[in-house]
């Protein structure tokens, strides 16, 4: 199994530390709002990597963090804590917000067939481990105190910048652009621990008074707790490379005296219509919003799998429509083979399996693997073709074995509301349409609009 390592900038064979066990840490969500499709691309990548690892016969111990404290509105240690900001905006406590969005996130990844890592670790459940990590860095001389917190002295870590290739510390965006803290030894020094103002809701006792952890420390502390001092793989988005993961490397190696991670793997950004995706631009969509527009979670997963994880993925609704049609056609072809009593030549099956395995093992070339799947399905329907498809779907996770043809029995009351909503849409009465959609949701049904009308699906 060949992987691309961001740290070495090279492809190479995955060689686990512990023979048949792969240990992997994945950066998870900051649960202050609903995860959108750009976030989900990262977790589909994480899931695909996990599936390929297991496809190769390895056992897997995976950890994913849930950030529910410490992530400031700027990744450069500036602004408010994202959880605090959401709490002020909604009037709910940070813990209520975290529980709500964590629950939604876990439900969303389940809808996308994303397998949960073996350990889901919440930051607020690991304050002692993080505090111990910071105390260790202070004892070793890497951490120093200012009036607003404990900072990591990057000047004492000469290899800082090796992940991103940014060796010019003055240009580092982790604090250099807006240096509001003149007590820092170097503008790019980053927060390990932050002293809490009295009004700050989330705070804990520490040697430096009531305070809370910085964002970066949680991954180092929790990765070490569950995976040991050195583990195999760390994943995340490319946005984590210059700040979050650079800081993780610095604090972990400073404390341990050796590398904590052997392979760093990062997924590229998703764009929308060739532009940057951001909530401020209003071009992000949740899974619910995509379903309302007629696109199932599996159509979105298929859309993501058609582009290599190291390439930017440009989201357009034209592209989603193509993915929806292709996925539907794929399912129809698979179902034909499922229903067949014929057997294809075993040479066809063995060649497909060899080609598929070689593709996904060449640093997750899933688009090529999908191409081999389509070639296989050009053959006449056959039972062993269906079995080969289901074998490949262990990697793809597209639910190709599921029968979606069964009719849903819809109560008359629900049908009546749906018809009323359709009429409102035709009259362009969007307010009434939204009101009726919410009513359907309360009754346990989701409506997906299409050119010909709508489809109802039980939630």
Q: Containing domain of residue 347, as a range?
A: 278-396
Q: Specify whether 171 is located in the same domain as 283.
A: no
Q: Is residue 90 over pLDDT 90?
A: no
Indicate the burial class of 271 (C-beta count within 10 angstroms; 0-12, 13-18, 19 or more). Answer: middle
Digit-coded pLDDT (tens) for 270-303: 999 888 877 777 778 999 999 888 899 999 999 9
Angle between helix axes 297-305 and 317-339 (nearest 10 degrees) is: 100
In whole angstroms, what is the distance from residue 227 CA to residue 262 CA?
12
Tell me, yes or no, whether 9 lies in a domain. no
Strand order in the sheet with 149-152: 143-146, 149-152, 190-195, 211-213
- Of all residues in the chain, what percent carry a pLDDT higher than 90? 70
| Residue found by looking up tokens 């876990």 in the block | 106
Residue 170 included in any domain: yes
- The domain tally of the chain equals 3
Q: What is the CB neighbour count within 10 angstroms for residue 339?
A: 10
Determine the Cα–Cα distance for residues 113 and 297; give it in Å rounded to an integer. Answer: 9
Both 115 and 79 in a single domain? yes
CA atoms within 13 A on the CB side of 131: 16
- 108's CB contacts (< 8 A; 6+ apart) are 35, 40, 286, 287
Is residue 248 located within the same domain as residue 149? yes
- 134 lies in the same domain as 180: yes
Assess whether 213 and 283 both reside in one domain. no
Which of these three, 267, 286, 315, is where a domain ends? 267
**Distance between CA 256 and CA 346 in Å, rounded?**
53
- Give residue for tokens 């695909």: 48
Domain boundary among 243, 267, 291: 267
The pTM of the full predicted model, rounded to 2 decimals, is: 0.85
User: In which band, very low, low, confident or very high, does the pLDDT at 76 lie, cut at 50, 70 and 90?
Assistant: low
Chain centroid offset of residue 159 CA: 28
Alpha-carbon span 384 to 350, nearest angstrom: 11
Stretch 98-125: mean pLDDT: 94
List the alpha helices (DSSP H) in 257-408: 287-292, 297-305, 317-339, 346-361, 366-376, 383-396
Residue 179 has pLDDT above 50, yes or no: no
Looking at residues 346-369, what average pLDDT do you find? 98
**Are 284 and 390 in the same domain?**
yes
- Would you say residue 187 has pLDDT above 80? yes
Q: In which band, very low, low, confident or very high, does the pLDDT at 77 lie, cut at 50, 70 and 90? A: low
The tens digit of pLDDT for each residue in 131-166 reads 999 999 999 999 999 999 999 999 999 999 999 987
Pair 126, 44 in one domain = yes
pLDDT tens string 235-257:
999 999 999 999 999 999 999 99
Q: What is the DSSP string of 401-427?
A: T----SPP---HHHHHHHHHHHHHHHT
Sheet containing 119-122: which strands, arranged edge to edge?
119-122, 59-66, 21-26, 231-237, 261-267
Residue 345 covered by a domain: yes
The answer on 291 and 203 residing in a single domain is no
181 and 260 fall within a common domain: yes
pLDDT band at 181 (very low <50, low <70, confident <90, very high): low
User: Are both 180 and 251 inside the same structural domain?
Assistant: yes
- CA-angle at 191, arms to 186 and 193, nearest 5°: 140
What is the 3-class SS of 12-77, one letter each residue? EECCCCECCEEEEEECCCECCCCCCHHHHHHHHHHHHHHHHHHHCCCEEEEEEEEECCCCECCCCC
Distance CA(444)–CA(370), nearest Å, equals 35
Asked, for residue 369, whether it belongs to a domain, the answer is yes
Mean pLDDT lowest among 78-82, 357-361, 369-373, 398-402: 78-82
Least confident of 181-190, 222-231, 425-434, 446-455: 446-455
Q: Do residues 224 and 359 share a domain? A: no
Q: Are residues 104 and 85 in the same domain?
A: yes
**pLDDT tens per residue across span 399-451:** 999 865 433 456 778 888 988 898 888 888 889 999 999 988 888 888 888 76
């Amino acid at each position: 199994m060949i992987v691309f390592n961001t740290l070495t900038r090279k492809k190479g064979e995955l060689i686990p530390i512990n023979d048949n066990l792969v240990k992997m840490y994945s950066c998870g969500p900051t649960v202050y709002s609903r995860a959108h499709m750009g976030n989900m691309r990262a977790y589909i990548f994480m899931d695909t990597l996990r599936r390929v690892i297991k496809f190769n016969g390895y056992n897997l111990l995976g950890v994913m963090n849930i950030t529910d404290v410490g992530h400031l509105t700027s990744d450069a240690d500036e602004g408010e804590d994202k959880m605090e900001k959401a709490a002020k905006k909604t009037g709910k406590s940070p813990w209520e917000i975290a529980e709500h969005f964590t629950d939604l996130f876990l439900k969303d990844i389940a809808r996308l067939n994303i397998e949960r890592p073996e350990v889901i670790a919440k930051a607020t459940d690991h304050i002692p481990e993080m505090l111990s990590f910071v105390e260790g860095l202070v004892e070793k001389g890497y951490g120093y105190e200012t009036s607003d917190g404990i900072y990591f002295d990057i000047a004492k870590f000469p290899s800082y910048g090796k992940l991103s290739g940014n060796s010019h510390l003055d240009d580092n965006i982790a604090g250099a652009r807006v240096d509001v803290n003149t007590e820092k030894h170097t503008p790019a020094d980053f927060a390990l621990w932050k002293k809490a103002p009295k009004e700050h809701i989330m705070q804990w006792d520490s040697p430096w008074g009531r305070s809370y952890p910085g964002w970066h420390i949680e991954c180092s502390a929790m990765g070490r707790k569950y995976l040991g001092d050195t583990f195999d793989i760390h994943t995340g988005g490319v946005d984590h490379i210059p700040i979050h993961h650079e800081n993780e490397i610095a604090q972990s190696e400073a404390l341990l005296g050796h590398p904590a991670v052997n392979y760093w793997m990062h997924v590229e950004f998703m764009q929308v219509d060739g532009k940057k995706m951001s909530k401020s631009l209003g071009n992000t969509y949740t899974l619910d919003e995509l379903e309302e527009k007629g696109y199932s979670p599996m159509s979105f997963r298929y859309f993501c799998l058609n582009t290599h994880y190291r390439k930017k993925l440009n989201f357009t609704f034209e592209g989603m429509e193509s993915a929806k049609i292709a996925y539907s056609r794929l399912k129809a072809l698979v179902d034909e083979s499922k229903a067949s009593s014929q057997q294809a030549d075993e040479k066809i099956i063995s060649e497909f399996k060899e080609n598929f395995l070689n593709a996904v093992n060449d640093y997750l070339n899933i688009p090529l693997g999908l191409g081999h799947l389509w070639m296989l399905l050009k053959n006449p329907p056959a039972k062993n073709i269906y079995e080969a498809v289901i074998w490949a779907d262990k990697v793809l996770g597209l639910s190709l074995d599921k029968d979606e043809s069964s009719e849903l029995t819809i109560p008359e009351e629900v049908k009546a509301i749906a018809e009323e909503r359709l009429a409102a849409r035709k009259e362009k009465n969007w307010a009434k349409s939204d009101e009726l959609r919410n009513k359907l949701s309360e009754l346990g049904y989701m409506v997906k609009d299409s050119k010909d009308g709508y489809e109802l699906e039980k939630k």
